[in-house]
Amino acid sequence: MLINKERAGRIMAENGLDALVATTPENVAYLTGFWILTHLRHRVRQVFAVVTADDLQADLVISRGLADAAIAADTWVKTYRLYGNFYFSTASLDNGDAEAKRLMALLDSSPSYPAAVDALAGCLAERGVARGRIGVDQGSDTIGLGRILEGRLPGLSTAPAYDLFRQIRIVKTAGEIDRIRNAVSVNESALTEAIAAIDEGVGENAVAATFFNEVARRGGLPTLVCVGSGPRGALPNVTAGDRIIHRGDAVRFDVGCIASAYHADMARTAVLGKPSSKIQIYHDALVAGEQGILSTIRPGVVAGDLFHLGVDIVRANGIPHYERNHCGHGNGIEGYDLPHIAPADRTVLEPGMVLCVETPYYEPGFAGLQIEDVVAVTETGCERISSIEQKLFIV
């Protein structure tokens, strides 16, 4: 189970909520373990998960056409509630394998409803919160779900809950950190292969394709593939193009993937041949800034204070004009979880928070340089989950 039950119960109580309804792929997965790529691609698909304050094991509302994905997933669902029509022939069921029989058993045994909102309203009523106050995750809500539910259940009141989910998820469980470790392992293995693919005459597209292929080969889904060489590396959201990599070029990688529903996000810089003194000095300054942040992370430290520390160190070590809007962010079932290592974020770090710490530098006409690592806050400091060397790679 991924959900931080203690934190969820406390935040629900503080906000006077009897139940939470998840609508986004991320929050549904967080409550149930159900994650399917088509839900991520088609975010308005009506998939809901419900937990109540007195029972944090979720009910899952899905269409009958998603039942096969439910039995394939490693879920911890209390009750599946199916809606709509989807047709399977049972002509060969007697000869079917165990998976086919489990699918039909789920279809036959689960409560069924005409439409998604019918299933959700029925779930809330049966779980005893038809007259309660619930939080509705508005992150993938395109139909005014709270208003519709209040019309169906006159004693019900609703409140937006997407930000509450983010507050609950800010401290990771051990199961979540295990999934992040796996995603980081996939990501940095693919990044290592992509760096090794750099060569004279090779284009950015070929290097990016290496990353894509290696992530997929290891069971992940690429979600962030910024690969830019020379001056193109200074484009923050660069998409690999036809540009050929030349000797002396810096190649900036800001890459990420999803594995088992969890994100990894890392950055490194490589140079084909000998780097210029400017590239080396500037990159060393960025590494010093990142290292300064990493060495300061511990419970009780304020996220915004880490930002100022990192910027000051980069300036003192070779880039006196260095400016940033943030030096990192939370990482988890969303690529940008809370907190943010940014000036206005006064979040106090706690054990179990997972952060991407980064010090990028973008100078149009020159290059982009970046280093970024994934770390978990521990009882006494932080543990670096990513293990790839923290250096300027010379290819």
Pick from 37, 64, 333: nearest CA to 179:
333
Report the phi/psi class of residue 331: left, alpha or beta, with left for phi > 0 and alpha for psi in -120 to 50: beta
**pLDDT 10s digit of each residue in the chain, 395 long?**
899 999 999 999 999 999 999 999 999 999 999 998 877 777 667 999 999 999 999 999 999 999 999 988 889 999 999 999 998 888 788 877 888 889 999 999 999 999 999 999 999 999 999 999 999 999 888 789 999 999 999 999 999 999 999 999 999 999 999 999 999 999 999 999 999 999 999 999 999 999 999 999 999 999 999 999 999 999 999 999 999 999 999 999 999 999 999 999 999 999 999 999 999 999 999 999 999 999 999 999 999 999 999 999 999 999 999 999 999 999 999 999 999 999 999 999 999 999 999 999 999 999 999 999 999 999 999 999 999 999 999 99
Instruction: Kindly report the number of other CB atoms within 10 A of residue 363's CB atom.
Output: 15
What length does the chain have? 395
Q: Which residues, 6 or more positions from 250, have their beta carbon under 8 angstroms from its beta carbon?
A: 229, 230, 233, 269, 270, 271, 275, 279, 367, 368, 369
Q: What is the 3-state secondary structure (H, E, C) of 172-185?
A: CCHHHHHHHHHHHH
Cα separation values, 14 from 24, 168, 180, 222, 230, Å? 23, 12, 29, 37, 51
Which pLDDT value is given to residue 98?
87
Half-sphere exposure of 223 (CA within 13 A, CB side): 24
> Does residue 58 contact residue 49 with C-beta atoms inside 8 Å?
yes
The SS3 of residue 323 is coil
Phi, psi of 84 (to 5 degrees): 80, -175
Q: How many CA atoms lie within 13 A of 80 on its CB side?
A: 24
Q: What is the DSSP letter of 349?
A: P
Per-residue confidence (pLDDT) for residue 92, from 0 to 100: 82
